[in-house]
Chain A
Amino acid sequence: MQAPTLDRSPDTAETTRKLRVATASLSGCFGCHMSLLDIDARITELVKLVEFDRSPITDIKTCGPCDIGLVEGAVANSENVHVLRELRANCQILIALGACAVNGGLPAQRNHLDVGEMLEDVYRDIDEGLPCVPDDPELPLLLDRVRPVNEVVRVDYFIPGCPPSGDTLWKYLTDLIGGRMPRLDYDLFRYD
């Protein structure tokens, strides 16, 4: 199957319109978002090409129709599922950003543990000996296992790395925005 590129009809206002980009952090560490900021001064070029929709760095709290969605972090609770589905439903192209989104990453290290037992351990008051586990309805329900995003929604592109570097994201996004099939050379991949 061919991975999608952005569909922008030529010779209309479409080609000059700024693309809308949404970003979300699920169960991640924000490091992938930091890498996005690691494009440094190129951010001034980026904002000539795109405008941001829902993102932790804007005050837009729910996602509207977008061209590109970038998602960092794995799926660990019911709220992550909700945010991810909203992103998928609104974004023409959805990109899984970084190890957590691509394959669960470090958060998935909890998968061999029983959720209930772990929580009792962590919230056990050392002196009292009785666990007091936070359980308010305002807190989203935890999933029994941490999942990569593609186990919950369809994903168009995966960018591995923890995190992928700023240069990697710059190359990827400028390719995509320019209507090209994104290509990353070997030196832009980084596994560790």
Chain B
Amino acid sequence: MFAASLETASEPRKLRRVAIDPVTRVEGHGKVTILLDEANKVHQVRLHIVEVRGFEKFIEGRPYWEVPVSVQRLCGICPVSHHLAAAKAMDQIAGYDLLTPTAEKLRRLMHYGQMVQSHAVHFYHLASPDLLLGFDSEPTRRNIVGVLEDFPQIATEGVLVRRFGQEVIRATAGKRVHGTGAVPGGMNKALSRDDREMLRADVDQVIDWTVGAIRMVERLHETKPAFYNHFGEVAGNMLGLVNASGAADYYNGTLRARDAAGTIIFDRVKDASYRDVLEEEVKSWSYMKFPHIKAIGSEEGWYRVGPLARIQVCDLLTSERAEAERQRLLAVGGGKPLHGTLFYHWARLVELLHAAELIRNLLDDPTICATDLMADKGERRFHAVGVIEAPRGTLFHEYKVGEDDLVTYCNLIVSTTNNNQAMNEAIRKVAVQYLDGHEITEPLLNHIEVAIRAYDPCLSCATHALGLMPLQVELVDADGIVLSDVRRGMDGGVSCSVPG
């Protein structure tokens, strides 16, 4: 694949480096480096995840019941996803097989609230400035404040849609960011009737606004179809969770992957068997690992997750209006899968609609305020996997817990990590499409960021691992004389010199 050739330049030292640092209007810390020659031909493009925090390691030794509350601190935009993925794993550890019907409904309600708030903050607060004000608009105004000034109606709707999602989370988890609703075996809090009435009163308006936003993106698309179809377009595999009838399921389900042409690669893979189908690779220039489909290998086995993958991996969405909108979007591809990066936004709004409809259905459920919150306890286990569809894509939590209830092992593959290679492929494509051979300007660099933003990366999430080797080690004797000098170069190679 041509884009892969831009991963590593053959002679980096002879090239000029341009950096986008930090990548803005995304969550967390990342930077892009681009290496160019004198004619501005692009030789290397990399998205680096520059932060590491070590969650997987410092969770070791902690009691298992604490984990659903602590790991959500990986991410303040999608804490509920980590909270619930960990809770699903810890349900099994603690010996609970099936939740009570109400507990599962409340967890789903919380999760769909998360989907609404996260998709809303991404679309309206972070991405809409590019779409509405222009990729090359004045950078100091290219933000939510600029949108508030120029498109007050849309921006205000966005603020209120996000607020609705946050209120669903507060009603089920106790507070908007980092609540505590799920506990191993169930939920610690019932939904109050007041909260249910309050949310029910708002949900129809949220649904209507979301449909309005979908229409807006559709109209934007119609203004320049070729541009929207092909911007950062790279064909790739897709992964997501579906239920037994093939419908998308954000909370439970089995893994399904399709290739770029839409053919199923694997299906009905139980979440606990994820290691049978996926493996991870480490590259020297990013703290974020590179997962891929085992059977295909690291070169071609990368895949997409998140809205654009999910709506194409599944056979249908279970809510009516969202499924109709999904069909409208898929029709753009004329029967072929969509791989254009900017379709992520449209797909994300279709999912926002789906989540809002699912919330409405749950609020109308006569038992949603019931109080059967804890399941019956069965046999204690020592190893468990919790998988969930977070707003940004499939999220894996795996834990081992000892007899003493302390965690002994933790592995997390967060949604954004799943998209690592996909994002790198997309920015390399954009570099070829828009930067190659041109004088590099701010608007052109923003094109690269636009491609990254479409994936809604959550770089805090992706920085869970920890560590950094010294770049240079000098062995100095007592007189200050350098005895040896070990360095790591741009190419990852190690050189060792012993002076004199």
Seen from chain A, the residues whose Cβ lies within 8 Å of a Cβ on chain B are 25, 27-35, 37-38, 40-41, 43-44, 47, 51-52, 55-61, 76-77, 79, 105-107, 109-110, 112-113, 115-116, 118-123, 125, 127, 132-142, 162-163, 165-166, 190, 192
The reply to whether B29 and A123 form a contact with Cβ atoms under 8 Å apart is no
Partner of A110, one of B57, B76, B283: B57
Given A118-B57, A138-B50, A57 contacting B126 (CB threshold 8 A): yes
Q: Does B109 contact A (CB under 8 A)?
A: no
A127 CA to B275 CA, complexed, in Å: 12
When distances are taken between beta carbons in the complex, the residues of chain A under 8 Å from B446 are: 59
A119 CA to B70 CA, complexed, in Å: 21
The reply to whether A56 and B24 form a contact with Cβ atoms under 8 Å apart is yes
Decide if the interface of chain B is mainly helix, strand, loop or mixed.
Answer: loop
The reply to whether A138 and B125 form a contact with Cβ atoms under 8 Å apart is no
A120 CA to B56 CA, complexed, in Å: 12
Partner of A134, one of B143, B160, B163, B285: B285
The reply to whether B25 and A29 form a contact with Cβ atoms under 8 Å apart is no
A116 CA to B470 CA, complexed, in Å: 9
Q: Does B360 contact A (CB under 8 A)?
A: no
The reply to whether A52 and B285 form a contact with Cβ atoms under 8 Å apart is no
Number of A-B contacts (CB under 8 A): 216
Partner of A116, one of B48, B58, B178, B469: B469
The 7 A-B pairs at the shortest CB distance, nearest first, are namely A119-B467, A31-B76, A136-B285, A142-B468, A110-B54, A122-B465, A30-B76
CB nearest to B164 among chain A residues = A40
The reply to whether B58 and A60 form a contact with Cβ atoms under 8 Å apart is no
The reply to whether A47 and B145 form a contact with Cβ atoms under 8 Å apart is yes
The reply to whether B73 and A105 form a contact with Cβ atoms under 8 Å apart is yes
The reply to whether A122 and B27 form a contact with Cβ atoms under 8 Å apart is no
The reply to whether A59 and B160 form a contact with Cβ atoms under 8 Å apart is no
Q: Does B286 contact A (CB under 8 A)?
A: yes
Partner of B22, one of A51, A61, A112, A192: A61
A34 CA to B466 CA, complexed, in Å: 24
Given A56-B24, A59-B25, A122-B56, A135 contacting B466 (CB threshold 8 A): no
The reply to whether A30 and B77 form a contact with Cβ atoms under 8 Å apart is yes
Partner of A106, one of B51, B73, B176: B73
The reply to whether B177 and A113 form a contact with Cβ atoms under 8 Å apart is no
The reply to whether B282 and A125 form a contact with Cβ atoms under 8 Å apart is yes
Q: Does B313 contact A (CB under 8 A)?
A: no
A127 CA to B280 CA, complexed, in Å: 10
The reply to whether B176 and A76 form a contact with Cβ atoms under 8 Å apart is no
10 A-B pairs with CB atoms under 8 Å apart are A29-B74, A30-B27, A35-B76, A44-B156, A58-B142, A79-B51, A113-B466, A118-B57, A135-B468, A137-B490
Partner of B143, one of A59, A112, A136: A59
The reply to whether B148 and A47 form a contact with Cβ atoms under 8 Å apart is yes
Q: Does B139 contact A (CB under 8 A)?
A: yes
Partner of A133, one of B29, B139, B469: B469
The reply to whether B468 and A139 form a contact with Cβ atoms under 8 Å apart is yes
A116 CA to B488 CA, complexed, in Å: 16
The reply to whether A28 and B460 form a contact with Cβ atoms under 8 Å apart is yes
When distances are taken between beta carbons in the complex, the residues of chain A under 8 Å from B312 are: none
A28 CA to B126 CA, complexed, in Å: 18
What is the CB-to-nearest-CB distance from A37 to chain B, in angstroms, rounded to a whole number? 7
Partner of B57, one of A35, A40, A76, A113: A113
CB nearest to B70 among chain A residues = A106
Q: Does B121 contact A (CB under 8 A)?
A: yes
Question: Which of A29, A41, A139, A190 has most chain B Cβ within 10 Å?
Answer: A29
When distances are taken between beta carbons in the complex, the residues of chain B under 8 Å from A79 are: 29, 50-51
Q: Does B334 contact A (CB under 8 A)?
A: no
What is the CB-to-nearest-CB distance from A29 to chain B, in angstroms, rounded to a whole number? 4
A58 CA to B281 CA, complexed, in Å: 33
Partner of A35, one of B21, B139, B177, B468: B177
When distances are taken between beta carbons in the complex, the residues of chain A under 8 Å from B76 are: 28-35, 163
A51 CA to B146 CA, complexed, in Å: 11
